[in-house]
Chains A and B, each alone.
Chain A
Amino acid sequence: MSENPITPVIEMHGAEVCSMRDNGLAVIEDVSWTVAPGEFWVVAGQEQSGKSDLMMMAAGLMTPAKGSYRLFGIETQDFGESELADRLRVGFVFENGQLFNRLTIAENVALPLQYHKDLPLGAAEEKARALLELMGLTPLADITPANVGLSWLKRAALARALILQPELLLLDNPLNGLGAHHAKWWLQFLDQLWRGHEHFGGKPMTIAATAKDLRVWKNDARRFALLRDKKFTLLGSWKDVASGDDTIVMELMEASMETTTFKKE
């Protein structure tokens, strides 16, 4: 693919996002959103505002009902087997992890490596265990997901998304349901990924996450957007968010959540 260095990672124009469960139901209309390489976006919205559907469309799992969506400069309508290499440039973390229940945590993380690089299980697991160690998951490596708590499941899902070293990381409500300790770890780890983690070659990662509580994401370097009444609104930087008087934004900033009880280091 001939790619311009400044080609946006995500480029939506007038896109209509449908529900993943019901293809005929539009949950967000007229989304125009551009994410440049190296940006860190947080898309906020209340329950049932279409955050997960937006992320799934951003990952290329479905195409917009109207408008256009280009991922790494490729129209997602055209995504097929030949664009597999581009699809693998995206890592996706589901809200509940969505790990494969029959595989252990280590096997879950090793699966993409095994499948796409055609590595034997031993070699793939070796790499997976190195990543699990980095993320504090070594004690859980040989346990199946059904026996692991949600906080650790989400972390394992992040490890699975990172094993192929994606350029774009999409996270669906990653801090939802986490305790303060886990939320703090996530924010720090995502920050390291965004700046370029040495485990992944030091290359900065583009990140887009959804959230129900804006306060924990407070950071001048991040960019924010809001989902409300089927509309996608760009909010800008944290300064713009904090200085606004939008009632929904105020609610999202006042949301009580245990993850807000710590101060980010």
Chain B
Amino acid sequence: MRPGLAKTLEFADAQLLRRAPLPRSYSNYLGRKLFLFLLTVQGLGAFALITLGVLLKKFRVAPNVMKPLVRREIFRAGMGLLPMFMFVAVALGFLVIGETVSTLARFGAINYIGTVMVVVVVRELGPLLAAFLVLARVGTANVIELGTARATGEVEALETLGIDPVHYLIVPRVIGMAAGVFSLTVYLIIGALVSGYLCAFLQDVPLTPGDYFKQLADSLGWLDFALLALKTVAFGFFIAIVTCYHGLAQPLRLDDVSRVAVRAVTQGIVVCVLIDALFIFLYLVA
């Protein structure tokens, strides 16, 4: 790791605080939690900025090593999850969209199907569900792999070889997850919308495929496409940052890895929800 990076990110105080006995008063307990939260935010922010800096500065460094790593991460966080995502897309279509379409048809609100689908599936459910699934499947693996690498000294080994651990270990994961969440969200949305119509069709809802997809197309604006892309890339980027930060940026022993994995997943969910809230605000403002 470059000089100072380890020191910037290793919050010995945070480790001490986490392992300290519970304080006697409730206000002290809250104060400690708040302090830990601020330290985590500071650490995540610093780690995100460092990663972005390395990504931009070393974009063309060692392409013979980095390209296969990036391809592998894109497969791991994208193509490799496609079968599971297709299953979830079909389930989502049948369980949620099919039900919604048939209910709207029962109340004669069939003209609002496009708007409802765009708001529910394209803007909210699709991206968030994709992010959670990638976090669960790949994010957890990131923490465990990097935590183990850190605990067994592989990170120090990279440094002795003059290889920047952020460049070699983090950058491919960040690119892979950002690309993976974006593309899987697109597949999830398409799969859910198609299977949702199939479900409605099976329930004899009086809606032709042409009308259904015309309503969807009419309800989608350029802002939906732009914000969907931005949101899913942000999800992927921050899931990678949170999981890699917990795996790599703190000194770990092997017995810490499972505990840190749980913390990383929890924080990953919180970060995704916060990003989602930020984008809801953007939709409302725009």
Contact = CB atoms under 8 A, between A and B. Distances in A.
Interface string B1-41: 01100010010100000000000000000000000000000
Contacts of B160: 59, 61, 90-92, 94, 161
Given A61-B159, A96-B153, A119 B3 contact: no
A6 B153 CA distance: 34
A56 B156 contact: yes
A84 interface: yes
Contacts of A265: none
A98 B151 CA distance: 10
Contact of A94 (B7, B10, B153, B163): B153
A20 B156 contact: yes
Chain A contact surface mostly: loop
Interface in A29-85: 56, 59, 61, 63, 77, 79-81, 84
Given A98-B152, A98-B154, A112 B161 contact: yes
Nearest to B62: A115
Contacts of A61: 156, 159-160
Contact of B154 (A56, A92, A100, A116): A100
B157 interface: yes
B2 A80 contact: yes
A160 B64 contact: no
Interface residues of A, number: 38
Interface in B132-179: 149, 152-154, 156-157, 159-163, 168
Interface residues of B, number: 23
B10 A63 contact: no
A104 to B, nearest CB: 14
Chain B contact surface mostly: helix
A23 to B, nearest CB: 7
Contact of B64 (A22, A84, A118): A118
B65 A101 contact: no
Interface of B: 2-3, 7, 10, 12, 62-65, 68, 149, 152-154, 156-157, 159-163, 168, 251
24 contacts: A20-B156, A21-B251, A23-B12, A56-B156, A59-B160, A61-B156, A61-B159, A81-B2, A90-B160, A94-B153, A98-B157, A99-B154, A99-B157, A112-B162, A112-B163, A114-B62, A115-B162, A115-B163, A116-B62, A116-B162, A118-B62, A118-B64, A124-B64, A160-B161
Given A114-B62, A160-B161, 19 more contacts: A21-B251, A23-B12, A24-B12, A59-B160, A77-B3, A90-B160, A92-B160, A94-B156, A96-B153, A98-B156, A98-B157, A101-B154, A112-B163, A114-B65, A115-B62, A115-B65, A115-B163, A116-B162, A121-B64
